[in-house]
């Protein structure tokens, strides 16, 4: 995300200093990858897509960006706990959540937090970068690709990293194919996912409506968007969550 933020409860000075340091880290990360390539910018209704020359360039940019920001964390524990509890409420009296996927996890925090709440569930994180193997329950994997081991197995797929997609429709379809019947894709949408936030490292930016439209176009035969969870009042991680459910 182009504007990842800090959210600790430290005194304001320390917090502001930390935020400035982080801003510097993100700016440097974008500057570094900008030296690797330039992109062609495509604009559509409610979205901006930066196009790379080829797949190898995309991989290289994402990996370098990942390494430059390896110490950072975007989503907060409270948000992941909220989503875990929301899923448990939906499933109350029904089948337990046993398997989930989190895409673009960097340090693997989100699957660790989901695991804490959804006791006993196997939850795996993916990252395109070779650094993935440094973190627990994380595999190196490009989230656009179909993984035969995951087809129709997941109770849910979560991501806040869809703004790193070179082809969001392809990625969403690959995620939907992993869902069991009635399983969910949970897609965070924040200020940092908007079109104006896209850049050479975060190549896709879209309004919430555009994401919902692309989900319909790419996966409409597999399910539909059933709900948008409003978390805009959350101080730590103001967001909405687009919920796609597999038929």
**Beta carbon of residue 95, minimum distance to ligand SAM (angstroms, whole number):** 27
Q: Which is nearer to ligand SAM, 1 or 123 (CB)?
A: 1
Q: Which is nearer to ligand SAM, 100 or 104 (CB)?
A: 104
Q: Which is nearer to ligand SAM, 32 or 73 (CB)?
A: 73
Would you count residue 198 as binding ligand SAM (CB under 6 A)?
A: no
Q: Which is nearer to ligand SAM, 1 or 154 (CB)?
A: 1
Instruction: Note every long-range contact of 204-209, with CB atoms under 8 Å and residues 24 or more positions apart, other chains counting.
Output: 204/47, 204/48, 204/49, 204/50, 204/162, 204/163, 204/164, 204/165, 204/166, 204/168, 205/2, 205/47, 205/48, 205/163, 206/46, 206/47, 206/48, 206/163, 206/168, 207/46, 207/47, 208/240, 208/242, 209/46
Per CB under 6 A, contacts with ligand SAM among 70-99 are 73-75
Rounded CA gap, 172 and 211, in Å?
10
Would you count residue 127 as binding ligand SAM (CB under 6 A)?
A: yes
**Partners of 159 in beta bridges:** 103, 187
Q: Which is nearer to ligand SAM, 142 or 155 (CB)?
A: 142
| Region of 31-39, 104-112, 172-180, 216-224 interacting with ligand SAM (CB under 6 A) | 104-112
Instruction: Give the position of tokens 């392809």.
Output: 170
Q: From 246, 104, 73, select the one nearest 166 (Cα to Cα).
A: 104
**Beta carbon of residue 242, minimum distance to ligand SAM (angstroms, whole number):** 16
Q: Which of 5, 49, 62, 190 binds ligand SAM (CB under 6 A)?
A: 62
Would you count residue 103 as binding ligand SAM (CB under 6 A)?
A: yes
Q: What stretch of H or E contains 179?
A: strand 179-189
**Beta carbon of residue 60, minimum distance to ligand SAM (angstroms, whole number):** 11
Residues near 142 by Cβ (< 8 Å), separated by ≥ 6? 59, 126, 128
Rounded CA gap, 18 and 98, in Å?
38
Per CB under 6 A, contacts with ligand SAM among 155-194 are 160-161, 164
Q: Which is nearer to ligand SAM, 151 or 226 (CB)?
A: 151
Residues that bind ligand SAM (CB under 6 A): 1, 62, 66, 73-75, 103-106, 110, 126-129, 142-144, 160-161, 164
């Amino acid at each position: 995300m182009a504007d990842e933020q800090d959210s600790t409860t430290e005194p304001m000075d320390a917090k502001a200093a930390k935020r400035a340091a982080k801003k510097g880290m993100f700016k440097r990360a974008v500057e570094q990858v900008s030296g690797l390539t330039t992109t062609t910018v495509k604009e559509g209704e409610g979205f901006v897509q930066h196009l790379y020359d080829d797949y190898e360039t995309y991989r290289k940019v994402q990996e370098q960006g990942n390494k430059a920001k390896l110490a950072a964390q975007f989503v907060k524990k409270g948000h992941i706990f909220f989503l875990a509890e929301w899923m448990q409420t939906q499933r109350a009296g029904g089948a337990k959540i046993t398997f989930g996927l989190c895409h673009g996890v960097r340090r693997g925090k989100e699957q660790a937090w989901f695991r804490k709440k959804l006791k006993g569930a196997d939850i795996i994180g993916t990252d395109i970068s070779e650094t993935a193997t440094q973190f627990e329950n994380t595999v190196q994997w490009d989230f656009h690709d179909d993984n035969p081991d995951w087809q129709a197995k997941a109770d849910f797929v979560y991501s806040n990293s869809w703004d790193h997609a070179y082809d969001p429709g392809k990625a969403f379809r690959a995620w939907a194919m992993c869902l069991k019947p009635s399983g969910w894709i949970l897609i965070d949408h924040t200020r940092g996912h908007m079109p104006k936030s896209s850049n050479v490292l975060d190549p896709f930016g879209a309004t919430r409506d555009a994401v919902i439209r692309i989900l319909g176009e790419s996966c409409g035969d597999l399910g539909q968007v059933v709900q948008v969870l409003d978390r805009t009042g959350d101080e730590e991680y103001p967001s909405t969550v687009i919920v796609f459910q597999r038929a």
